Amino acid sequence: MLTVGLTGGIGAGKSEVSRLLVEHGAVLIDADRIAREVVAPGTPGLAAVVEAFGTGVLAPDGSLDRPRLGAVVFADPAKLAVLNSIVHPLVGARSRELENAAAEDAVVVHDVPLLTENSLAPLYDVVVVIDASPETQLDRLVRLRGMTEEDARARMAAQASRDERLAIADIVIDNDVPLETLERRVDEVWDDLVRRTQE
């Protein structure tokens, strides 16, 4: 089994690269999706978040109001640290369960947005960084995700810098390119990852 840590700044295009790797046969463990699962209604995770931040972070249906919680924590590093201390251990435990269920010869891709920030690179055999310029990230967040420019800039500023991400990369995928070019690059990376599973 080869474990791959896949990361990149918000708006860099991790979802697209993850999708392409899954098409090649990768087993995807998506930290963001797991992070939503561990705070779903009725979970101990959601109870802990409400205990820390109050019922104001809940939507009328009792689910977590992620935009409201995001507005609270992304403006305050101490509150973000509290949220991370609740969610990260739960995500880690679930990720290990999924990895343990994968085949022996699998390429297991962990899509981890905060891999750099949380110094998680040593947990993986290979770290793949999706790289895009800050201008590209900002454009995607405003145009494709409907964020205000101010909110997008705040989210980007809360993450590791581009240089910090590139410093931990074993493989870099440039995503300031047309989709066809990205697809060709992912093909090359997949061949490299498969070769590494056989070493």
Domains and their CATH numbers in the chain: 1-26+106-199 (3.40.50.300), 40-103 (no CATH)
Whole-angstrom distance, CA of residue 127 vs CA of residue 3: 9
98 burial via Cβ count (<10 Å: 0-12, 13-18, 19+): middle
Give me the mean pLDDT over the 120-141 stretch. Answer: 95
> What is the pTM for the complete model shown?
0.82
Which pLDDT band, with edges at 50, 70 and 90, does 51 fall under?
very high
Contact at 8 Å (CB) between 15 and 30?
no
Count other C-beta atoms under 10 Å from residue 23's C-beta.
Answer: 11
Tell me what the pLDDT averaged over the chain comes to.
Answer: 94
Share of residues in the chain with pLDDT > 90 (%): 85
Whole-angstrom distance, CA of residue 18 vs CA of residue 186: 10
DSSP 8-class letter at 123:
G
Q: For residue 74, is pLDDT > 90?
A: no
Q: For residue 22, is pLDDT > 90?
A: yes
